[in-house]
Structure 1
Amino acid sequence: MTTSQTESPSPSAAEPDERRLPMSPLLALGTAAFMGILTEALPAGVLPEMARDLSVSESAAGQSLTIYAIATGLSAIPVSVATAKWRRKPLLLLSVVVFAVANLVTALSSSYPLTMAFRLFAGIAAAVVWAELVGYARRLAPPHLQGRAIAITMAGVPLALSLGIPVGTFLGGLFGWRLTFGLVAVISVLLVVWLLVSVPDAPGQQAGQREPIFKALRLPGVAAVLFVVAAYVLAHNILYTYIATFLDEYDMGASRDIVLLVFGLASVVSIFITGALVDRKLRALTIGSTSLFIVAAVLLALLAESPVVVYGAMVLWGLGWGGVTTLLQTAVTDAGGDRGQALLVTTWNSFMAGGGAAGGLLLDSLGPTSFPWSVLLLLVPVLLVVVAGRAHAFPVKRPGMS
């Protein structure tokens, strides 16, 4: 989900302090990640109300999520190439402005086509935001703290899913979905101001510095990391997209909000653990993340009749998922630099969108009890690839670490 245009720290960016991280710009970037995910997923929590006001079916309203994810995935590489020469800060600011405008239009519009058009624009803007976050985090941090800087920047992703979406849904129930989108637009404007005053600028790339993005697939470790991204994200989204349906199968539908809260809190714990250890323990954390999700899937496949087991599985799943964005971002950057990041954006968003489609096929053909088994089918190869990738994809010692 993130790429950057510069392969090395820019001389115009502020020189990183070797002793500590610059928290204000990193937190501003993390908030940009938060807003990207919140803008994408907020319709899921207010879908019936959106559908009614836009005079469309809930299925049609649900495509507001699909068009955003597809726009992000398909535009990541073309946008990276087209904007390679642009200075990075104006590009980042423009993207967040698009978030603000898209959310404002969504809040005010009664036209389904107009709403969908601005959802598409917001998805393209998200591709640009993901295109800058990791590069900025790496430029702002000394080498031995770059993993931690990425963790802080990308913490906005699981925080938006675990806390932002439920809060947005709650506010939508209290004040209406339009006011909720309006509030997100206001926060986006405030974020523009924060980025403007705290984040340094950096130049784009000159024509002679750029190499074809797809050549990164030839670099050792990149293909392995992208396989892990594809399979892990697909497994997660098959189960997460249809978690309500799965819980209904075991008469736990009424506890859906509590189950998701448990998952979200465990994800937050994982964020902090990953941020503290990623620079020194990337390989071990990735193996642990995958193993925890596998154990959770086994529990859900065999013992989901027990609510206690379901809650325990949610804790394990959340602990595995919360830090995975940081882990895979760091791994692909170590292996393939910024070109690897561009490929990760496309892979991540494509398989995130594919999770809903694959889950729908499983639901129609095999029923909701098939979801945990599909997770196992996808994650066992992931674990094998991570364990085998000790030389380049997930090395014992990260490049540049003393």
Structure 2
Amino acid sequence: MTSATNTLSTGATDARLPLGGLLALAMAAFITLLTEILPSGLLPQMAQSLGKSEALIGQLVTVYAIGSLVSAIPLTIATQNWRRRTLLLIAIGGFAVVNTVTAISDSYAVTLVARFVAGMSAGLLWALAAGYAARMVPDYLQGRAIAIAMVGAPLALSLGIPTGTFLGTLLGWRWTFGVMSGLTVLLVFWVLAKVPDFPGQKRGQEFGLKTVFMLPGLRPVLFVVFAYVLAHNTLYTYIAPFLEPAGIKDRTDVVLLVFGIASLLGIWITGVLIDRWLRELVLASVALFGFSALALGIAGTVPGVIYGAVAIWGLAFGGAGTLFQTASAKAAGNAADVAQSMLVTTWNLAIAGGGIVGGLLLSGLGVAPFPWVLIALLIATFVVAWAAKSHGFRAAAARL
């Protein structure tokens, strides 16, 4: 490893990973996800300051997800002709504006609108990031490049939220969002210095939504994303009540820390192996998640089993986003940004679906059926991923 790049040899060709640019994309992913979920860690402070209930403050996360859900595809389609770095900077700059508005606003309505606009920026950025990283490197390094660009997401979950919550408690929640705005401004200059620019699609050569959707391999990828993330969010959203029968509901933070640490290990393993073992890693991720769910179904009231199963779950989930985005980018080729916008929309639908499915299960049957519903979803996921060996989740042509 050099001071600025990672050098890999493939035959007679030396290729360098542009770490400066890829880490700028990782920082963008970090800010995007942290902006989304930060209110969850600051509910009491924000509720008191804005004069609203914690339940209403929680809707600041919901409206962010809605903004991302409804905007990802139309914004990506509408901006296909734009130069890529210009579009990336607009998406990043959106976070500086809305986080500043959030930091200074005393109006719940204004904050709600700001959060919706932040979600729109997120939908655009998530659609851009993976394809952008893939363009920066040769084909045989695309998986690793996407893994580096996406490492900001698990870091936001495992480190960003605890740090943001601590700063909110120490300095006040407004300062936390102000710090986020400051980091975003610094990121703009980082992108200008290290991230290369790429042209958009030439006029008349834009990709239609139906055309991209019908590309070989993309539909299996989208199904796997939906079923896998639906299974994940069904349990993750309601992890606290699920832990209650085992008597460790008050240790939810520790359980989630175990999940976060394991997910970091998962994305590291993914980054090392993805360019040679994409198909196998996808199947292993689904299988490990299924094994974790089975353990929770059989012995989900035993604390030791829960910690072990959650660690396996985190290991499986850590690299899942990178795996799915890489598969989508490879299946779509030059239409990667449009395909990624579909993936973003599918992912957010699954997040919403997980909240609905989990809520219905919890209110109607309690927590006992959760693992078995996950297993059913993951069996379907595994079957579709296994069958998509010609397109979607292909084995590498050659392993070096």
The normalised TM-score by structure 1 is: 0.92
Confirm whether residue 47 of structure 1 aligns to residue 32 of structure 2.
Answer: no
Mapped to 2, the partners of 1:142 and 1:297 lie a distance apart of: 37
Q: Distance in 2 between matches of 1:378 and 1:244?
A: 21
In structure 2, the residue matched to 1:124 is 120
Number of residue pairs the alignment of both structures matches: 385
CA distance in 2, matches of 1:392, 1:79: 27
How many angstroms apart in 2 are the aligned matches of 1:158 and 1:270? Answer: 10
Give, as a single letter, the amino acid of the residue that structure 1 aligns with 2:223: F
Further displaced range: 312-321 or 79-88: 79-88
Identity %: 52
Tell me the residue number matched to 1:108: 104
Corresponding residue for residue 267 of structure 1: 263
* Distance in structure 1 (CA, Å) of the matches to 2:250 and 2:194: 44
Using CA pairs below 8 Å that are at least 6 residues apart, which structure has the higher relative contact order? Answer: 1
Q: Which runs of 5+ in 1 are unaligned?
A: 1-16
Residue 176 in structure 1 maps to residue 172 in structure 2: yes
| 1:211-254 CA-partner distances (Å, limit 9, x unpaired) | 21222222221111100000111111111111122123321022
Aligned to 1:380: 379
Question: Aligned equivalents of 1:247 and 1:162: distance in 2?
Answer: 19
Distance, in Å, in 1 between the alignment partners of 2:100 and 2:352 is 24
CA contact under 8 A between 2:245 and 2:301: conserved in structure 1?
no
Task: Give the conservation status (yes or no) of the 8 Å contact 2:131–2:329.
Answer: no
Q: Does 1:347 pair with 2:343?
A: no
**Residues 282-313 of structure 1, C-alpha deviations (whole Å, 9 max, x = no match):** 01100110111111111112212211111101
Give the distance between the partners of 2:58 and 2:384, measured in 1 at CA.
34
**One-letter code aligned to 1:213:** L
Could you tell me how far 1:401 is from its partner in structure 2?
8.1
Cα shift at 1:369: 2.6
Match of 2:366 in 1: 367
**Structure 1 residues 111 and 249, CA gap change in structure 2 (3 angstroms):** farther
Match of 2:70 in 1: 74
Question: Which of the residues 21, 25, 33 maps onto 2:21?
Answer: 25
Separation (CA, whole Å) in 1 of partners of 2:47 and 2:223: 36
* C-alpha distance after superposition, 1:96-138 (max 9, x if no partner): 1110111121122111110010101111111121122112111
Determine if contact 1:238/1:358 at 8 Å carries over to the other structure.
yes
Match 2:134 to one of 132, 138, 141: 138
Classify the secondary structure of the residue corresponding to 2:16. coil
Does the CA contact (< 8 Å) of 1:45 and 1:169 recur in 2? yes
Q: Within 5 A, what are the aligned runs for 1:199-218?
A: 199-218=195-214
Cα distance between partner residues in 1 of 2:387 and 2:219: 13
Gaps of 5+ in 2: 1-12
Quote the offset at 1:336 in angstroms: 2.2
| Contact 1:69/1:350 (<8 A) preserved | no
- Give the Cα separation in 1 of the matches to 2:234 and 2:172: 29
Q: Please give the alpha-carbon distance, in whole angstroms, between the structure 2 residues aligned to 1:171 and 1:249.
A: 33
Whole-Å Cα distance in 2 between the matches of residues 296 and 51 of structure 1? 36
Counterparts of 2:240 and 2:169 in 1: how far apart (Å)? Answer: 19
Give the superposition deviation at 1:49. Answer: 2.0
| Distance in 2 of aligned mates of 1:39 and 1:401 | 39
Letter in 2 for 1:335: A
Separation in 2, partners of 1:359, 1:318: 19
**Aligned CA-pair RMSD:** 1.6
Match of 1:9 in 2: none
Asked whether 1:313 is paired with 2:312, we answer no
Seen in structure 2, the aligned counterparts of structure 1 residues 372 and 173 have a Cα distance that, compared at 3 Å, is: farther
Question: Structure 1: which amino acid aligns with 2:288?
Answer: L
Give the TM-score normalised by structure 2.
0.93
Deviation at 1:92, TM superposition (A): 1.0
Offset at residue 18 of structure 1 (A)? 4.5
